[in-house]
Amino acid sequence: MSDTISDTCPPTFGFRVEAESEAVSEARRKIVALVRGWDVPVSDNTLDDLELLSTELITNAVRHTDSSCAVAVRWTGERVRVEVTDVSPARPYRRHSSPEAEGGRGLLLVESLATAWGSAPDPAGKVVWFELGPSDGTPPPWSTPGKWTITTDSGSATSGYLPAWAEDDPTEVNVPLDQLPERLAGINHRNFFEGPMMPINAPDVWDGVEEDAVFEGSIDCNPYDPDPGLRVPVVNLQVCVGRWILGLDPHGLAEVTAKLRAHADFLEAKIRPALIAAREDWAAHHTD
C-alpha cells in the first residue's frame, strides 16, 4: 500500500482475519500500522480509539461465528473507516441485560467513541462499520464518482467506471500482481436501502423477539462476476434476517413489488376483518 495520501488514489486495504485469538491482536496492530503509514491527519488519541474499536468489532465477528471475517480499512478524505464483514446475519444491537454479549459493552464503546457507525445486511452475512474523524453533522461521501483504478506492484493499472451511487471505492495501489484477479473479482458497487422495522423471532439465531428490518437490501453491481447478469446493477432484497431474494432486474423487482402490494391489500381487505370476527367470536364463546 502507499505510505502517503494521494488525491487520485485514496488509501484502502482489505484482509481476512482467521477465527483464532492471536489473529485479532495481529489485525488491530495491522490496522493502526496501516493508518500510521498513510500519514493521514489523525491524532494519537484517534489511533488509540481506532485500535480499541477495531478490536471490539473483529472480536465480536470471530467469537460469535467461529469463522473468519473480512476487514476493510479506508481513508475517506475526512475519516478513517473500518468495515468488518462476517457470516452471521444477526445485526448488532444493545442488550442491556447482557453486557458481555455482542452489542453489549462493545456496542456502547462504538456508540461513545466512533464519529459514525452502523451495520448493513450482506449476502455473506452482515457488515458492521465505524468511522473516526471530524464531524460536521453529516457523514462524508464514501466514494469519488467517476473512476476506480487498481495499480499493481509492477506498475500496471486496471480501471473501471465508479458510479455516483456506489458507497465504496475499490481504488488501491501496490497490489501484488498475482492478487489482481482476486481484487477484481471482489469489486462490488453497492448502495444500501432500509426497510421497515418489525418484531422478528429467530429461534436459531437469538432468544426472544427483536426489532429488525424486513425487505431492506441493496443495489449491487459486480462488474467481474462470472454471471453476466450480475455485471449490471441488480437489487438484492433481504426478506428478513438471513433470507434473501437475489439478483432482481427491474422486471423482477416490479414482480416482487406487485406481489407485496397485492398481499398487503389481501391482509387489509380479507385477513384483518377475519381476524376481528375471530376475536369477537372468541370473546363471545371462550371462557377462561
Indicate whether 277 belongs to any domain.
yes
**Measured between alpha carbons, how far is 191 from 105 in angstroms, rounded to an integer?**
29
Q: Work out the angle at residue 237's Cα, subtended by the Cα atoms of residues 148 and 53, and round it to the nearest 5 degrees.
A: 60
Indicate whether 177 belongs to any domain.
no
**Measured between alpha carbons, how far is 145 from 131 in angstroms, rounded to an integer?**
20
Tell me, yes or no, whether 16 and 120 share the same domain: yes
Indicate whether 258 belongs to any domain.
yes
Domain of 130: which CATH number?
3.30.565.10
Residue 200 C-alpha cell reads as 422478528
The number of domains in the chain is 2
Tell me, yes or no, whether 26 and 129 share the same domain: yes
In sequence order, the 6+-apart residues with CB closer than 8 A to the CB of 254 are none
Tell me, yes or no, whether 115 and 18 share the same domain: yes
* Residue-number span of the structural domain to which 262 is assigned: 193-285
Tell me, yes or no, whether 125 and 205 share the same domain: no
Residue 196 C-alpha cell reads as 421497515
Q: What does each of the 288 residues of the chain score in pLDDT, given as a tens digit?
A: 333 334 444 567 889 999 887 899 999 999 999 999 888 888 888 999 999 999 999 998 888 888 899 999 988 878 899 999 998 887 775 544 333 344 445 677 788 888 888 888 787 888 889 999 875 444 444 444 588 888 888 889 999 998 888 877 788 888 889 989 988 998 988 888 888 888 877 677 667 777 777 888 888 899 999 999 888 999 988 887 778 889 999 999 999 999 999 989 998 999 999 889 888 888 888 776
